[in-house]
């Protein structure tokens, strides 16, 4: 397959300008979870122009898609794009701290950046497609659009609705985020389980809080007793959750429980109790049993908070994702291609931009401003050895990402490639968050990662299509690890038993007479 791989690498080099422009487009959209309307439409239009058949809104999710291209009968290789950003991270592609034009600093922006995650993966699939057409290589490519990764949103739903079942193998990519997973492929320790739960509190009958102290004709008059209401319930729940963290987090490695208040208030005057408030928890733990235990405890807290505040409560699911499953055959093949391409190299204009950022921060510009690790490879086995030094021997999974859903439906590789990060000028120094975000939007800085990733993914796809022994080994390992494949004795079925959580108060952009500004649309499901 050497000729095919050389052609794929040449395609990426020849089309890197387009890939860079596409990445900048999605990065500038800066749309957040479940509201990535323009980003999803951009991908759908682009993939259709590239000859893919695209199902928009796949799995009942308006900002998801499933795209398929085939060149005769052959294996189906899967991959995906993510494109959701994070509220409160609106940074321009610049060497100074400032929001993108026309927006405030609390609008959405890309931190990981998922903009480059998706385009890097897409570049690999398009490069493989071009070579398949040119050399007549048979096979099928399935490229998924996965919104709301920051809430582990779409993948559990796609998995439960069968979108991954037809894949023979899958390739997952993420920009480097933490050592030792930089320019490598996951080996044994994959990400753990992730649960997202939303608690809604409503004060539907404030008049029953207590008898009125007099005969005022106005319910809830200023001097009268007032039911605590939904805001008080959320505050109580928030404090209970902090106690949960205190008692659970010290007892196990890599447990995290984070909360976000999606809604507060709903009262129209200060003498009326808040009618509705919501708080979301996200639980990242090694096992499903741990996640279930946390949710049971949160349920008890919600019941108590509701009683105290004279409210009703309900829990809705945002996400249930499974822990990951290794596949050494896939990891070896993917890393061999990463070795052939080499780690990203940052030079020229990228270095000049990094030095300008350091200068603007009052630092002395460094001759080599980027972290050395992002330009170095680390073998999967060595990364595994380093990771295991920080974990109990019995812990099989650590960290958090929902690519794990693919692992239970097809042999899956988890690739991580170095993204632009600056070296610390002295021990203990931390760059402001805006610097990391800006580097993901500056083309000369993010393009080396895109180029390396696209080439590596394309080459791995071609290996899987052109080397039957490799795909057979990966599938045999998948069957062994699952105790018989999909439905096997050790296979974990999809956990998703809920509808797409698209109706909640997720931050989004809307058009107003003042322009396109960040806003929140107050919707509340009634089911």
Q: pLDDT confidence of 268, banded at 50, 70, 90?
A: low
CB neighbour burial string for 29-65, b if at least 16 within 10 angstroms, e if fewer = bbbbbbbbebbbebbbebbeebebebebebbebbbbb
pLDDT of residue 513: 73
Q: How far is CA 522 from CA 204, 276, 497, 511, in A?
A: 17, 11, 25, 15
Q: Which of 238-247, 401-410, 418-427, 508-517 has the lowest mean pLDDT?
A: 508-517
In a domain, 519, yes or no: no
User: Domain with 297 in it: what CATH number?
Assistant: 3.30.70.360
pLDDT tens profile 6-30: 999 999 999 999 999 999 999 999 9
Confirm if 186 and 334 have CB atoms less than 8 A apart: no
In a domain, 527, yes or no: no
Confidence check: pLDDT of 151 > 70: yes
Among 278, 300, 321, residue at a domain's last position: 321
Element (H, E) at 385: helix 380-388
Higher local confidence (pLDDT), 191 or 267: 191
How far apart are alpha carbons 520 and 262 in whole angstroms? 9
Residue-number span of the structural domain to which 18 is assigned: 2-192+323-482
Confidence check: pLDDT of 213 > 80: no
Shared-domain flag, residues 266 and 375: no
DSSP, collapsed to helix, strand or coil, labels residue 57 as coil
Higher local confidence (pLDDT), 269 or 16: 16
Shared-domain flag, residues 182 and 305: no
How far apart are alpha carbons 501 and 316 in whole angstroms? 8
Shared-domain flag, residues 287 and 218: yes
Confidence check: pLDDT of 177 > 90: no
How far apart are alpha carbons 253 and 285 in whole angstroms? 9
Confidence check: pLDDT of 275 > 60: yes
Element (H, E) at 294: helix 288-309
Confirm if 81 and 144 have CB atoms less than 8 A apart: yes
Shared-domain flag, residues 365 and 415: yes
**Side-by-side strand order, sheet with 193-202:** 256-263, 276-285, 193-202, 312-321
The DSSP annotation for 66-98 comes to: EEEEESSS--EEEEEEE--BEET----SSSS--
Confidence check: pLDDT of 94 > 90: yes
Q: pLDDT confidence of 131, banded at 50, 70, 90?
A: very high
Shared-domain flag, residues 313 and 397: no
Q: What proportion of the chain, given as a percentage, has pLDDT over 70?
A: 92
How far apart are alpha carbons 123 and 129 in whole angstroms? 10
Q: How far is CA 486 from CA 14, 142, 336, 500, in A?
A: 40, 19, 28, 23
Among 286, 321, 356, residue at a domain's last position: 321
In a domain, 161, yes or no: yes
pLDDT of residue 362: 97
What is the biggest distance separating any 2 CA atoms in the chain, rounded to whole angstroms? Answer: 89
Confidence check: pLDDT of 526 > 50: no
Q: How many domains does the chain have?
A: 2
Element (H, E) at 320: strand 312-321
Higher local confidence (pLDDT), 312 or 219: 312
DSSP, collapsed to helix, strand or coil, labels residue 315 as strand
Confidence check: pLDDT of 220 > 90: no
Shared-domain flag, residues 178 and 210: no
In a domain, 416, yes or no: yes
Tell me whether the omega of the peptide bond preceding residue 113 falls within 30 degrees of 0, making it cis: yes
Shared-domain flag, residues 171 and 228: no
Shared-domain flag, residues 380 and 409: yes
User: Domain with 431 in it: what CATH number?
Assistant: 3.40.630.10
How far apart are alpha carbons 282 and 448 in whole angstroms? 33
How far apart are alpha carbons 269 and 252 in whole angstroms? 45
Confidence check: pLDDT of 218 > 90: no
**Residue 492 neighbours by CB under 8 Å, 6+ apart:** 288, 322, 323, 408
Shared-domain flag, residues 89 and 166: yes
Confidence check: pLDDT of 249 > 90: no
User: Would you give the distance in Å from CA 189 to the centre of its chain?
Assistant: 18
Using alpha carbons only, what angle is made at residue 494 by residues 167 and 501, rounded to the nearest 5 degrees? 105
pLDDT tens profile 108-130: 999 999 999 999 999 999 999 99
pLDDT of residue 527: 45
Shared-domain flag, residues 287 and 201: yes
What is the residue-averaged pLDDT of the chain? 92
In a domain, 85, yes or no: yes
Tell me whether the omega of the peptide bond preceding residue 155 falls within 30 degrees of 0, making it cis: no
Beta strand 65-70 with 140-146: parallel, antiparallel or unpaired? antiparallel
In a domain, 254, yes or no: yes
Shared-domain flag, residues 316 and 328: no
Over residues 445-466, mean pLDDT = 98
In a domain, 522, yes or no: no
Q: How far is CA 182 from CA 148, 376, 380, in A?
A: 24, 8, 10
Confirm if 395 and 256 have CB atoms less than 8 A apart: no
pLDDT of residue 199: 97
Shared-domain flag, residues 177 and 271: no
Among 305, 321, 337, residue at a domain's last position: 321
Q: Which residues pair with 422 in a beta bridge?
A: 370
How far apart are alpha carbons 446 and 452 in whole angstroms? 11
3-state class percentages of the chain: helix first, strand second, coil last, to nearest 5: 40, 20, 40
In a domain, 40, yes or no: yes
């Amino acid at each position: 397959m050497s000729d095919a791989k050389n052609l794929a690498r040449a395609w990426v080099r020849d089309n890197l300008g387009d890939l860079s422009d596409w990445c900048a487009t999605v990065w500038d959209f800066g749309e957040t979870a479940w509201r990535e309307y323009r980003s999803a439409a951009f991908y759908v239009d682009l993939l259709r122009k590239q000859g893919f058949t695209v199902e928009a809104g796949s799995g009942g999710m308006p900002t998801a898609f499933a795209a398929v291209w085939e060149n005769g009968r052959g294996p189906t290789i899967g991959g995906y794009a993510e494109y959701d950003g994070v509220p409160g991270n609106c940074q321009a592609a610049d060497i100074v701290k400032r929001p993108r034009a026309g927006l405030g600093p609390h609008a959405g922006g890309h931190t990981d950046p998922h903009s480059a995650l998706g385009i890097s993966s897409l570049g690999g699939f398009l490069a493989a497609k071009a070579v398949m057409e040119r050399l007549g290589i048979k096979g099928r490519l399935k490229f998924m659009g996965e919104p709301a990764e920051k809430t582990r949103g779409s993948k559990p739903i796609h998995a439960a609705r069968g979108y991954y079942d037809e894949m023979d193998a899958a390739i997952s990519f993420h920009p480097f985020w933490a050592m030792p997973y930089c320019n490598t492929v996951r080996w044994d320790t994959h990400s753990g389980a992730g649960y997202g739960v939303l608690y809604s509190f409503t004060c539907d009958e404030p008049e029953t809080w207590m008898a009125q102290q007099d005969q005022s004709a106005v319910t809830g008059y200023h001097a009268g007793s007032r039911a605590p209401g939904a805001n008080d319930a959320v505050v109580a729940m928030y404090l209970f959750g902090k106690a949960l963290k205190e008692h659970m987090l010290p007892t196990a490695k890599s447990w995290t429980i984070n909360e976000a208040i999606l809604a507060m208030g709903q009262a129209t005057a200060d003498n009326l109790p808040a009618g509705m408030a919501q708080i979301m928890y996200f639980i990242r733990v090694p096992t499903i049993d741990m996640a279930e235990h946390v949710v049971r405890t949160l349920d008890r807290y919600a019941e108590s908070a509701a009683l105290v505040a004279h409210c009703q409560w309900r829990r809705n699911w945002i996400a249930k994702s499974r822990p990951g499953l290794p596949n050494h055959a896939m990891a070896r093949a993917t890393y061999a291609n990463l070795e052939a391409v080499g780690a990203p190299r940052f030079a020229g204009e990228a270095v000049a931009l990094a030095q300008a950022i350091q200068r603007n921060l009052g630092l002395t510009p460094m001759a080599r401003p980027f972290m050395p690790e992002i330009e170095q490879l680390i073998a999967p086995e060595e990364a595994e050895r380093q990771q295991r030094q920080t974990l109990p021997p019995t812990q099989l999974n650590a960290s958090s990402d929902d690519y794990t859903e693919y692992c239970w439906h097809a042999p899956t590789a988890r690739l991580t490639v170095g993204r632009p990060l600056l070296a610390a000028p002295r021990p203990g120094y931390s760059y402001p968050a805006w610097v990391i975000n800006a580097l993901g939007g500056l083309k000369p800085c993010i393009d080396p990662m895109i180029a390396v990733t696209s080439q590596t993914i394309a080459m791995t796809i071609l290996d899987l299509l052109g080397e039957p022994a490799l795909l057979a080994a990966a599938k045999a390992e998948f069957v062994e690890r699952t105790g018989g494949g999909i439905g096997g004795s050790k296979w974990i079925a999809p956990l998703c038993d809920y509808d797409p959580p698209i109706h909640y108060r997720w931050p989004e952009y809307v058009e107003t007479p003042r322009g396109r500004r960040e806003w929140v649309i107050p919707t509340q499901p009634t089911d």
